[in-house]
C-alpha cells in the first residue's frame, strides 16, 4: 500500500465556502456550528487495466477505483455559537475601517495558507451576518468596518 500526502490544504476560513447558504441562521440563538480539523485517508483498490469510475464522471481512465474513506484522527475542534465566536476570527490589527487587502493580510498572519478567494468568501459571509458592514468606496475598493456589537 502506497501513502502520499494530499496537495489539498484547507484552513478554518476555507470552511466559509460551505456556509454561504447558511449565513441567515448562523447567528440564531439555538444554532451551534462545530468545525472539526481531521486527517482522512482515501482507500483505493488497484485494477489490472485502466477503468472509468462507476458513475462515469472520470474523464481519464485510471488503474484504480475508490473504495472508501477512513478517519485517521481529529486534530481539533472549533465551536461557533453567537456573534462573539465569529468576531474571534477577524484579525486584531485592523483599523476602524479596512479594505479587503488589509483583511486578507491579517488572516495570513493567523492562517498562513489562506487563499484570497477563501478570505473574500469569509468576508462576504461576515457581511451577510451583520458582523462586518460594507462602507463607501475608497477609489475602486470597498471599505469595511465592524458592525454594532
Q: Look at residue 94 and give its three-state secondary structure.
A: coil
Residue-wise pLDDT tens digits, 15-64? 999 999 999 899 998 899 999 988 888 888 888 888 777 776 666 777 87
Q: What is the CB neighbour count within 10 angstroms for residue 90?
A: 19
Residue-wise pLDDT tens digits, 76-87? 999 999 999 999
**pLDDT > 90: what percent of the chain?**
56
CA separation for the pair 90, 139 (Å, rounded): 24
Q: Smallest Cα–Cα separation from 125: which of 7, 22, 8? A: 22
Q: Is the entire prediction scored with pTM above 0.75?
A: yes
pLDDT reported for residue 42: 86
pLDDT reported for residue 149: 54
Amino acid at each position: 500500500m502506497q501513502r502520499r500526502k494530499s496537495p489539498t490544504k484547507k484552513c478554518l476560513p476555507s470552511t466559509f465556502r460551505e456556509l454561504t447558504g447558511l449565513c441567515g441562521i448562523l447567528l440564531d440563538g439555538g444554532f451551534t456550528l462545530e468545525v472539526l480539523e481531521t486527517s482522512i485517508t482515501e482507500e483505493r483498490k488497484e485494477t489490472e487495466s485502466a477503468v472509468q469510475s462507476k458513475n462515469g464522471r472520470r474523464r481519464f481512465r485510471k488503474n484504480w477505483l475508490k473504495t472508501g474513506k477512513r478517519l485517521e484522527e481529529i486534530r481539533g475542534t472549533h465551536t461557533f455559537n453567537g456573534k462573539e465566536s465569529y468576531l474571534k476570527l477577524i484579525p486584531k490589527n485592523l483599523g476602524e475601517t479596512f479594505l479587503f487587502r488589509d483583511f486578507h493580510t491579517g488572516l495570513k498572519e493567523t492562517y498562513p495558507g489562506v487563499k484570497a478567494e477563501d478570505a473574500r468568501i469569509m468576508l462576504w459571509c461576515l457581511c451577510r451576518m451583520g458582523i462586518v458592514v460594507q462602507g463607501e468606496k475608497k477609489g475602486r475598493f470597498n471599505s469595511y468596518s465592524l458592525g454594532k456589537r
